[in-house]
């Protein structure tokens, strides 16, 4: 009877150490992802979070924290992408307005060339594409913020 009790105690101790070790590993991955996020290495941080989710499916509390971090990563990436796209949109819009004035002037004087009209059309298409990208990124940012509010409640 004592032997059975000793074996059960040892088994429980090993299982407990194993779970503790796995929890520590999950916490380490989360901390590593946080550090990478703070350094602006968003892809590497996401890779750590993906590893955490695959390797430690039972570390529920750590995975919840990782979900919050993943939302922060996606939000930051979308905000940075929006800033770049918006800057490019401003440049292309300025170029488009210049070309539009020139094309209208040349049309009125019957001097508009096919190349000039083609360039004007391509610039308009680029401007419209950038507008769509800005709107999409803005919607993504709003969605992420909405999800963050839902998870914080």
Residue 89's Cα: distance from chain center in Å?
A: 21
Residue 10 lies in a domain: no
Give residue 80's pLDDT band: very low, low, confident or very high (50, 70, 90).
very high
Residue 63 lies in a domain: yes
The H-or-E segment that residue 144 falls in is helix 114-152
Residue 20 has pLDDT above 90, yes or no: no
Percent of the chain with pLDDT over 90: 78
Q: Which residue has the higher pLDDT, 7 or 111?
A: 111
Residues 139 and 74 sit within 8 Å (Cβ to Cβ): no
Domain of 34, in residue numbers: 23-152
Residue 50 lies in a domain: yes
Residue 111 lies in a domain: yes
Which tokens in the block code for residue 40?
Answer: 């602006």
Residues 69 and 41 sit within 8 Å (Cβ to Cβ): no
Report angle CA 113, 118, 119 to the nearest 5 degrees.
Answer: 100
Residue 15 lies in a domain: no
Instruction: List the alpha helices (DSSP H) in 39-59.
Output: 42-55
Report angle CA 74, 144, 24 to the nearest 5 degrees.
Answer: 55
- What total of structural domains would you count in the chain? 1
pLDDT of residue 76: 96
Residue 16 lies in a domain: no
Residue 6 lies in a domain: no
The shares of helix, strand and coil residues in the chain, as percent rounded to the nearest 5, are: 90, 0, 10
Residue 2 lies in a domain: no
């Amino acid at each position: 009877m004592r032997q059975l009790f000793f074996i059960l105690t040892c088994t429980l101790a090993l299982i407990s150490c194993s779970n503790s070790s796995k929890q520590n590993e999950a916490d380490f991955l989360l901390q590593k992802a946080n550090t990478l996020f703070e350094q602006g290495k968003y892809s590497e941080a996401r890779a750590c979070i993906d590893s955490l989710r695959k390797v430690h499916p039972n570390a529920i509390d750590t995975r919840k924290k990782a979900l919050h971090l993943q939302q922060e990563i996606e939000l930051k990436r979308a905000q940075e992408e929006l800033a770049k796209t918006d800057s490019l949109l401003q440049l292309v819009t300025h170029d488009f307005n210049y070309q539009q004035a020139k094309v209208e002037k040349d049309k009125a004087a019957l001097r508009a060339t096919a190349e000039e009209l083609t360039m004007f059309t391509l610039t308009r298409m680029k401007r419209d594409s950038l507008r769509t990208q800005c709107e999409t990124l803005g919607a993504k940012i709003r969605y992420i913020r909405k999800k963050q509010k839902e998870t914080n409640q």
